[in-house]
Amino acid sequence: MIAEDPRRRIPRTDALIEAVADIDAANHAVKAAISTAQNEARALKITPEEVEGRVRQLLGNKSLKPVLNATGVVVHTNIGRAPLSTAAQEALINASGYADVEMDLERGVRSKSRGAGAIKALLNAVPAAEDALVVNNGAAALLLATTALAENQEVIISRGELIEIGAGFRLPELIESARVELKEIGATNRTHPADYERAINTRTGAILKVHPSNFRISGFTSSVGVEQLREIADQHSVSLIVDLGSGLLHPDPVLPEEPSISEQLEAGADVVIASGDKLLGGPQAGLLLGKAETIARLKKHPLARAVRVDKLTLAALEATVAGPQTPVEKALHLDPQVLKQRTQALQAAVGVGEVVLHDGRVGGGGAPGYPLEGWALRLPEEWAKPLRTGEPVVLGRVHENGLLIDLRCIPESEDETIAQALRKVK
């Protein structure tokens, strides 16, 4: 007797649609999930009896899964940079319906100051700024600043500051994609005031200073500070743009070498650029803070409309800047002793691994290479994948044939969740 082909038992589409009718999903999504599951059964990857369960699983999957960041890297680009504070999360949900983003409720008319709350919060936090503008991200802010302040002109930049910001995106190429010409000066390791002086001509629109946020040149180096660039810019009546990237509002003693927005404005920048989701600890955004006249020129440029932020970003940014300590700040300022105790408690709760010294990192766009003293639980490397693909997702750091679980970026309230996830793998 010939065995029956199991594929004959694969449930039909209409039967499956009826079987999963209790799930709230768009028709096209249901059909796509059914078709995927049926194909898997035809390829004998699952049995016909598993098809309905697989459809349910596919419809339940969201492509953006929450991740417990046990890498010790605070601003980790691959997992969405800064986690939002609870205050920012609440503000975001609050603004997700209709919200008065461009409405003056008092007078019942359109308000011209979109995002006024976020701007006010930024200006309160950074008194050295006369005005501010928020756009989609740091790259958009840089594009807008160079285009609005030096359109059809040249922007002078030191060779040591021509950086790639990740995944092949280079700042020089971004700037030149607009109608701005870059004039590179100096050598990779050294640039002097005279290099700027020599380069400035009647076609110069701005001097751009970029903070090398993701690498560090050491040894025989020199660069020209913002104060000196201010003098040069004044002598020749050109704008001075400072791209900081990282977004510290004020100096922070735990990151002694990281420049802040306040300092750069006080030193004389016309406009300082930073990302919202790096050290500021907020949503993806590009912040432009500076002189009133400069910000007015940026707002007026047609590009400003193309790089505008949405109301969700504005709400989350305002709550981040005006709100309590952000998760990024907490992770940066964590007491190593507390981290050690939590790590030892985790080791005791799971009963495996070894508590080892482990430096955390600031990560994406801030304090390159600067170590944050701390501890981690060292486990077998083979644990990495089950933890990464489990529920909840726990992402550790694979290092020297081991898996390091660093609790720096994990809220203490989640330590037990991590312990449970580890026990599951054990």
CA distance 40 to 71: 35
238/288 with CB nearer ligand PLP:
288
User: What residues from 232 to 251 belong to the interface with ligand PLP (CB under 6 A)?
Assistant: 243, 245
Can you list the positions of beta strands (E) in 226-296? 239-245, 271-275, 286-290
x/- mask, ligand PLP, residues 277-296, rule CB under 6 A, reads ---------x----------
Distances (CA, A) of 340 to 73, 316, 331, 371, 418: 17, 32, 14, 16, 15
Q: Is 165 in the site for ligand PLP (CB under 6 A)?
A: yes
Interface with ligand PLP (CB under 6 A), residue from 129, 134, 143, 210 = 210
Under DSSP, the state recorded for 340 is H
Helix (H) or strand (E) segment spanning residue 239: strand 239-245
**CA angle at 244 for the pair 300 and 280, rounded to the nearest 5°:** 95
Q: Indicate the residue among 10 and 84 with the shorter CB distance to ligand PLP.
A: 84
Which residues does 252 contact at the CB level (< 8 Å), separation at least 6?
Answer: 258, 260, 279, 332
The reply on whether position 316 binds ligand PLP by CB under 6 A is: no
Which of 213, 239, 313, 320 is close enough to bind ligand PLP by CB under 6 A? Answer: 213
Q: Which two tokens stand for residue 284?
A: 């993806």
Report how many residues bind ligand PLP under the rule CB under 6 A.
Answer: 13
In the complex, least distance from residue 143 CB atom to ligand PLP, rounded to whole angstroms: 9
Q: Could you give the 3-state DSSP secondary structure of residue 170?
A: strand
Q: Of 146, 153, 262, 275, which lies in the binding site for ligand PLP, with binding defined by CB under 6 A? A: 275
Site string for ligand PLP, 101-140 (x = CB under 6 A): ------------------------------------xxx-
Minimum distance from CB of 134 to ligand PLP (Å)? 12
β pairing state of 375-380 and 354-357: antiparallel
Task: Determine the 3-state secondary structure of 397 from DSSP.
Answer: strand
Whole-number minimum distance, CB 137 to ligand PLP, in Å?
A: 3
Nearer to ligand PLP, 137 or 260 (CB): 137
Closer of 41 and 248 to ligand PLP (Cβ): 248
Element (H, E) at 135: strand 131-135
Binders of ligand PLP in range 350-409 (CB under 6 A): 365
